[in-house]
């Protein structure tokens, strides 16, 4: 049984959904590292922090009170004592988070905190550099992916459900821009770890992906390569993205 699980992948690939469900199924701690970058981004925007100014950024980070509190097998993020909620999922944060996440000082600031959390107990940690940087010795590394159009549609539908007024073309453009920024940044770019297993979620239901991940954790099947080619996708069971 795998104890330390790293899940990486681009925006909209299903990382957050699948990592949360997998952790819930296993009784593991769920760690969403992307939410940490989003929380910082939301804080910077709300407080007018010029994060592109290194001196201003370093001064802000030195003074900032950030807390990660384990609650019901998830990690609650507090900044200056205030819980960070749905505001970290706003279109404005979507627009700026990749720029914040590419800053070396920000990544260094969060890296040790993320690693310490992930190793504190059996956990499922998801992000963009988990298997390559944060947890290079993880027991299991998974790289979730999907086509850009599928990922954009998922994010668009999520925004609609939240009552956010966004256009599909805008969401798709944002997805493509984030892919470019995340994969080309100098510090810990988004890439698949050499020993990670790819799971393409484009044509799979949530239940199908969860079944594959549970098998991987429990080592019930010797999965290799592109998981999507080994799954029957004709019948879509419960669970839509």
Q: What pLDDT digit, counting tens, does each position of 215-233 carry?
A: 999 875 544 445 544 444 3
The CATH number linked to 192 is: 3.40.50.300
- Is residue 241 a part of any domain in this protein? no
Per-residue model confidence (pLDDT) at position 188 = 87
- Is residue 239 a part of any domain in this protein? no
β-pairing verdict for 140-145 and 123-127: unpaired
Give the count of domains, the chain. Answer: 1
Range of the domain at 181: 4-230
User: Mean pLDDT score of the chain, rounded to an integer?
Assistant: 88
- Is residue 237 a part of any domain in this protein? no
What tokens were used for 20? 């949360």
Per-residue model confidence (pLDDT) at position 239 = 53
- Is residue 39 a part of any domain in this protein? yes
- Is residue 238 a part of any domain in this protein? no
- The ranges of the chain with pLDDT < 70 are 220-241
- Is residue 57 a part of any domain in this protein? yes
Per-residue model confidence (pLDDT) at position 186 = 86
- Is residue 236 a part of any domain in this protein? no
* pTM (2 d.p.): 0.83
- Is residue 45 a part of any domain in this protein? yes
CB 113 within 8 A of CB 68: yes
Per-residue model confidence (pLDDT) at position 227 = 53
Per-residue model confidence (pLDDT) at position 238 = 43
């Amino acid at each position: 049984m795998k104890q330390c699980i790293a899940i990486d992948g681009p925006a909209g690939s299903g990382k957050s959904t699948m990592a949360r469900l997998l952790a819930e199924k296993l009784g593991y701690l769920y760690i969403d590292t992307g939410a940490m970058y989003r929380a910082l981004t939301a804080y910077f925007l709300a407080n007018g922090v010029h994060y592109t100014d290194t001196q201003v950024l370093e001064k802000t980070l030195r003074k900032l009170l950030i807390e990660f509190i384990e609650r019901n097998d998830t990690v609650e993020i507090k900044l200056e004592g205030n819980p960070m909620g749905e505001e970290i999922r706003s279109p404005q944060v979507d627009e700026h988070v990749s720029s914040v996440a590419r800053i070396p000082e920000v990544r260094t600031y969060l890296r040790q905190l993320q690693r310490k959390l992930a190793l504190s107990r059996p956990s499922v940690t998801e992000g963009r550099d988990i298997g390559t940087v944060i947890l290079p010795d993880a027991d299991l590394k998974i790289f979730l992916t999907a086509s850009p159009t599928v990922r954009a549609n998922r994010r668009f539908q999520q925004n609609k459900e939240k009552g956010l007024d966004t256009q599909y073309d805008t969401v798709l453009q944002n997805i493509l821009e984030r892919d470019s920024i995340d994969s080309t940044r100098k510090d810990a770019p988004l890439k698949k770890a050499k020993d990670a297993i790819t799971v393409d979620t484009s044509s799979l239901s949530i239940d199908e992906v969860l079944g594959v991940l549970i098998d991987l954790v429990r080592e019930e099947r010797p999965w290799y390569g592109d998981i999507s080619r080994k799954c029957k996708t004709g019948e879509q069971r419960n669970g839509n993205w």
